[in-house]
Chain A
């Protein structure tokens, strides 16, 4: 899923400063799963911002709403009837959600309340780890299910580097060395010989070769 974290409240307050009627808009999908922008977090942020405004004796209306999915038009249109009541939307969606809402309502400023982080896995309660870069050309088979692009600090395709010690990465001793994980997994499957080959340079055009990517699926279209 897509992970995110809330921006510092000071930064949010500065961005919403000029507006008088604000819709705080949550998203019940990925950012709810990572406890950053779901209904609960949206209620908290709304409440905190209203109290902050009251303490400064500012006359503002701050209301909350959470969409099932902020990045899908079918859900965003649910705001059609009420959007005119607000002069800004404070979105707790990921970067895609913020932009989808902005695309739908070109006249309304849409302000991000979150910093979108990465494609991650929920490792444990309250712990999310980055493990996919969305490179457009999955290499996980070759590397035994551990992505060196997302999980090796130096993105080595032919690792490990000389900083791998006791299975830890030199950048941060609390981090696993992705290459130790790759070697461990491949040896479990008797596939270590796969690493005797030199992995060729990555074809980055699949990720960024022709600008922003899009997926077109005729069978899914009307």
Chain B
């Protein structure tokens, strides 16, 4: 079912992009974003109430994209659902033809627009991976009950090479692979040196033979955005020279500079052993994705 899986298994350098569902019930916005990404990327991640802000459900938006002929990656966080709801949604997603699932813990509820809610965190992201894998490969849910039909899902996980403790980051990646991850999408990469350290440790441990790693990139829109991400977003590593580059161009050229940095990063990632693709998170800027992919020499995409 997963187009992304086919691309990666063929050994092609994969391209995925992120699509944030609207803060409303408007399907047109989802479909318009889908149109922007069609034929530019192999699969589209749909965020699950990202930064703990209420949006259209990822499952619904994925279904809309699937109907429009795209290959959606359902992002699923453990913050909002207990194991009953998680397993139920996994079955539903597969029944609706969604072929990819990304297992996440989710941004903490205190960051969003419902800070008074309760965080569920019944399972963590690694236990969720394990659960999905058992549903798919064993046909069983937690507790051992058998499914009448197994979900067909390509299972993903996130990794942040830039968080601490550094020495434990690769251990955790290995744990996610053991739990069931088929592919990994990383936190946005700006510090290529630190990313290289991380990926070569992973290569030394033979991990890219067991999992496809897609490097995450986010085009910067302004020096302000760069500074905000550097100073305010935990686990985000933006070197000073990137901030300086963004500051060094006139306002009307800033977005162009952001795209240029992003394209350069992708070109470096393409050459790096252990990297199987790129994941472009253009936050509320899906229009930029096509240009980035084209300038990185990644068009045309292989057919569906």
Complex: A in contact with B (CB within 8 Å): yes
Give residues in A with beta carbon < 8 Å to B. 153-167, 170-171, 173, 177, 180, 183, 195-196, 198-202, 204
Q: Quick check: B127 and A155 within 8 Å, CB to CB? A: no
Q: Are B234 and A163 in contact (CB under 8 A)?
A: yes
Q: How long is the Cα–Cα vector from A154 to B108 in the complex, in angstroms?
A: 7
A154 in contact with B105 (CB, 8 Å): yes
Q: Is B165 an interface residue (CB 8 A)?
A: yes
Q: Is the CB of B163 within 8 A of A162?
A: yes
Min Cβ gap B27→A in Å is 31
CA distance A198 to B131 in the complex (A): 12
Known: A195-B171, A196-B171, A198-B178. A164 touches B127 (CB 8 A): no
> Which of B125, B142, B168 has the most C-beta atoms of chain A within 10 angstroms of its own C-beta?
B168
Cβ of B121 and Cβ of A162 under 8 Å apart?
no
List CB contacts (< 8 Å) of B96-143 with chain A. 105-106, 108, 110-111, 119, 121-127, 130-131, 142
Are A165 and B122 closer than 8 Å at their CB atoms?
no
Residues on B with beta carbons closer than 8 Å to the beta carbon of A196:
171, 174-175
Q: Specify the main secondary structure of chain A where it touches its partner.
A: loop
A160 touches B163 (CB 8 A): yes
B interface bracket (residues with beta carbon within 8 Å of A): 35 or more
In the complex, besides A153-B110, A164-B164, 4 extra interface pairs with C-beta distance below 8 angstroms are: A154-B121, A165-B235, A170-B235, A180-B164
B160: chain A residues at CB < 8 Å are 161-162
A165 touches B163 (CB 8 A): yes
Q: Nearest Cβ distance between residue A192 and chain B, in whole angstroms?
A: 8
In contact, B234 and A165 (Cβ under 8 angstroms)? yes
The answer, yes or no, to whether B61 is at the interface (CB within 8 Å) is: no
Chain A residue contacts of B106, Cβ below 8 A: 154
B127 close to A162 (CB less than 8 A): no
Residues of B within 8 A of A161 (CB): 105, 160, 163, 235
Tell me if B158 counts as interface (CB < 8 A to partner A): yes
B164 and A167: CB pair below 8 A?
yes
Q: Which of B105, B164, B168 contacts A166 (CB 8 A)?
A: B164
Interface residue ranges, B against A (CB under 8 Å): 79, 83, 105-106, 108, 110-111, 119, 121-127, 130-131, 142, 158-160, 162-165, 168, 171-172, 174-175, 178-179, 187, 234-235
Which of B83, B125, B158, B234 has a CB less than 8 Å from the CB of A170?
Answer: B234
Cβ contacts under 8 Å, B125 to chain A: 156, 158
Give complex CA distance A13, B132 in Å: 53
| Bound form: Cα–Cα A186–B159 in Å | 23
Q: Are A200 and B234 in contact (CB under 8 A)?
A: no
The chain A residue with its CB closest to the CB of B131 is A201
A201–B168 contact, CB under 8 A? no
Q: Given A153-B108, A201-B83, A204-B122, does the pair A162, B187 have CB atoms closer than 8 Å? A: yes
- B142 x A201 contact (CB < 8 A): yes
Question: Closest approach, in angstroms, between the C-beta of A148 and any C-beta of chain B?
Answer: 9
Residue numbers in B under 8 Å from A183 (CB-CB) = 165, 168
* Contacting residues, chain B, for A165 (C-beta < 8 A): 163-164, 234-235
Q: Which residues on A sit within 8 Å (CB–CB) of B159?
A: 162
Give Cα A196–Cα B176 distance, bound, in whole angstroms.
10
Q: How far is the CB of B143 from chain A (nearest CB, A)?
A: 10
Question: Residue on B with the closest CB to A148?
Answer: B124
A11 to B95, CA, bound (A): 52
Most buried by B among A162, A171, A180, A201: A162
